[in-house]
Amino acid sequence: MDYKEAIEYLYNARPPFHMVGAAAYKPGLENTLRLMAHVGNPHEKLRAIHVAGTNGKGSTSHLIAAVLQAAGYKVGLYTSPHLVSLTERIRINGVPIPEAEVAQFIETNKAFLDETGPSFFETMTAMAFAYFVAQKVDFAVVEVGLGGRLDSTNVLTPVLSVITNIGLDHTEFLGNTLAKIAREKAGIIKPGVPCVIGETHPQTMNVFLDKAQECGILGEGLETTDCRIWFADQCGYLRTRRLREAPECELKGLYQEKNLQTAFVALQVLRGPNPNPSLKGREYFSISREAIREGFAHVCRLTGLRGRWETLREKPLVLCDTGHNSHGIQYVAQQLKTLPNPHIWIVFGMVNDKDTEVVMRLLPSDDKYHYIFTTPNTHRARTAEEMLAMWESFQHSAFSIQPMAIDDPKEAINYALEHAAEEDAVFIGGSNYLVGEALQMISDK
């Protein structure tokens, strides 16, 4: 079996969530545990940092991985979804898993996969963990796929759990309130495992405190050596004392400030205070301030991260970002408003299980912004015409250039590039699929 055959098998036999949506979701850990047992229980052999959250978990995972790499560790990184190639999901020190390894894993385990029918994500999780163990990584930074409690990555018992934030997304699976979603994501909190919470909110604070109490990791505060849960946005003194000394982060989005703070506190927890004898089994790791500086300054180069307020071209300025729900787009919209360019062409598309109308109401709307709605390459996409109709239903201003619908993403992107002047900007976003299309099309970097 070659790589192409392996990919066809994965996509046809067990299509991924990004292709078929809810049909790909298999909550619960029983199937994952059977698969892990079949491949030698690699989840029991990894020193993992487990990262959940509505938004920012990918960036936070990459920041932590980059710093650990800069500290001299061999680091596995498992994230999703991919933007261009499936191999992006599984990396070691920034290098994607070789295509031959993907093919070998599927060929070796195909009979078992056919018999038990794990989901695409369950299969990829087993592949990642087995690869990391075979390659003897020092750390595995693992991003949760969806939720937390029932996500297949939750077979791990990590050395640190991180939850970046809670927003309304995937409500059909996780619940329709922040508290319900927080309970699902709090499922990654484990007894005896320290946990960092990136952003606190009145509706979610007690959910995390109750779970920490249940797991016996609730402490008095960051100053106390026996504290095992930290709220990163309340660790202000850490930010002013140390983070201000760090170089400018390679990630430029306004929203990255919160991810930077979350990752920074997580790394401080990994570094730890002087070992406390009362915390038996707790490990502390060598992570210098210089490694933190290096990792933050070169996170994209070290890990291969793409699509986070990324500049793809200079003249005209072409930017893309993977923000795709209201919680993420609110920061993208703020940043679009700060661009000094005289005209900004926005190529925008979304999938139909996102809060599309809420997102679109967040986007800037005056004569400076020229909208081209398009249909991302997935059957879950909202059509360009639907997007345009929704936009026109609540935008009543007269635009000098009327918003338009161009169904084909490549044509939409090319239209913006062809009509933007050198001093203009082009933004491409709203969907990971659309960003992936842009990354394949535009290669000025």
Q: Which residue shows structure tokens 């570094």?
A: 271
Predicted local distance difference test score (pLDDT) of residue 399 = 62
Walk along the chain (445 residues) and give the pLDDT tens digit of each residue: 999 999 999 988 766 555 554 554 566 799 999 999 999 999 999 999 999 998 899 999 999 999 999 999 999 999 999 999 999 999 999 999 999 999 999 999 999 999 999 999 999 999 999 999 999 999 999 999 988 999 999 999 999 999 999 886 655 657 668 889 999 999 999 998 999 999 888 888 889 999 998 888 876 444 444 558 888 887 754 554 455 555 578 998 777 888 999 999 999 899 875 444 444 456 779 999 899 999 999 999 999 999 999 999 999 999 999 987 888 898 899 999 999 999 999 999 999 877 888 999 999 988 899 999 999 998 889 999 999 999 988 765 556 678 999 999 999 999 999 999 999 999 999 999 999 999 999 864 4
Domain ranges of the chain: 3-303, 310-441
Residue in 328, 57, 54, 60 with CA at minimum distance from that of residue 169: 54
Q: What are 180's two structure tokens?
A: 């319900």
Q: Classify domain 310-441 by CATH number.
A: 3.90.190.20
What is the C-alpha separation between 186 and 179, in angstroms, rounded? Answer: 10
Write the burial class of residue 7 (CB in 10 Å: 0-12 exposed, 13-18 middle, 19+ buried). middle
Q: How far is CA 86 from CA 7, 89, 93, 153, 244, in A?
A: 8, 6, 17, 17, 36
User: CA gyration radius for the chain?
Assistant: 22
Predicted local distance difference test score (pLDDT) of residue 335 = 94
What is the C-alpha separation between 80 and 248, in angstroms, rounded? Answer: 26
**3-303 carries CATH number 3.40.1190.10:** yes
Predicted local distance difference test score (pLDDT) of residue 172 = 61
Residue in 207, 42, 192 with CA at minimum distance from that of residue 124: 42
DSSP string, 368-400: TEEEEE---SSTTBPPHHHHHHHHHHH--SPPS
Question: For the sheet containing 425-429, what is the strand order?
Answer: 310-313, 317-321, 425-429, 344-348, 369-373, 404-405
What is the C-alpha separation between 401 and 369, in angstroms, rounded? Answer: 9
Pairing of strands 404-405, 317-321: unpaired
What is the C-alpha separation between 151 and 142, in angstroms, rounded? Answer: 12
